[in-house]
Amino acid sequence: MKREKLLLAFAMAVTVGIGTSQLHAASIIDEWASVKAAPPPPVKEVTVDPKTTALVMADFVQPICSRYPRCMASLPVAKKVLDAARAAKVLVVYTSIPKVPISAVVADVAPNGDAPFVQSFTDKFLTTDLEKILKDHGITTLLMTGVSSNGAIIETSSEAALRGFNVDVVLDATSAATTYAEQFVAWQLVNGPVIASHITLTTSDKLKF
């Protein structure tokens, strides 16, 4: 008898539990563990038009890059892209965050001459004259490298797309603190509403100058 009551109580608890979960739309936090990554997006060959393309070297500065092992590991790739861009006379633009000057750019990819330089938090168009610099040079496409993927890269790429620029993101020359952040940014760049139609993912060995 006692056992039957217990079973009944258990059955009721389960029923109420199920009912409750159906009534309340579970937030994403409740569903977190069951979320699967979307399939990987395509990586494409890109032929750079030196006249209309600018290479953006985003926040390759000591206080940031040295904090991210994946940024330090990306430096040889970034240097390879930088050297190829310079050889092709592509406009190179450097960025940093407020209070961190251009002299803080890590030596491997340091600027030479008078490369344009803008300082802002993650969206490099915000409170800078980046858009004017690009338009004055006839730039219609940005080649994005730098750190971090889920900060300067996604924000600046999105804002560039909203401003009508095309954006090619060099995946192996961009980095974040974790691969998860790099993963969802790569996906979002070419699947996000509005921006996706302006953005292409590429890698350093798929770039032709």
Q: Which residues of the chain form contacts with another protein (CB under 8 A)?
A: 25, 27-29, 31-32, 35-38, 40-41, 43, 69-70, 72-74, 97, 121-123, 126, 148, 150-152, 154-155, 158-159, 162, 171-172, 175, 177-184, 186-188, 191-195, 201, 203
Nearer CB in complex with another protein: 25/107: 25
**Nearest distance from C-beta of residue 1 to another protein, angstroms:** 40
Dist. CA 20–CA 113, nearest whole Å: 65
As a whole number of Å, the CA-based R_g of the chain is 23
Both structure tokens of 102: 């251009």
Torsion of CA 10, 15, 19, 22, to 10 degrees: 100
Both structure tokens of 44: 């494409």
Q: How far is CA 118 from CA 32, 92, 96, 112, 159, in A?
A: 38, 12, 7, 15, 15
Nearer CB in complex with another protein: 49/205: 205
**Nearest distance from C-beta of residue 169 to another protein, angstroms:** 10
Nearer CB in complex with another protein: 43/110: 43
Residue 191 identity (one-letter amino acid): N
**Nearest distance from C-beta of residue 191 to another protein, angstroms:** 7
* Residues forming a β-bridge with 192: none
Dist. CA 160–CA 154, nearest whole Å: 10
**Nearest distance from C-beta of residue 4 to another protein, angstroms:** 36
Nearer CB in complex with another protein: 6/162: 162
Nearer CB in complex with another protein: 50/62: 62
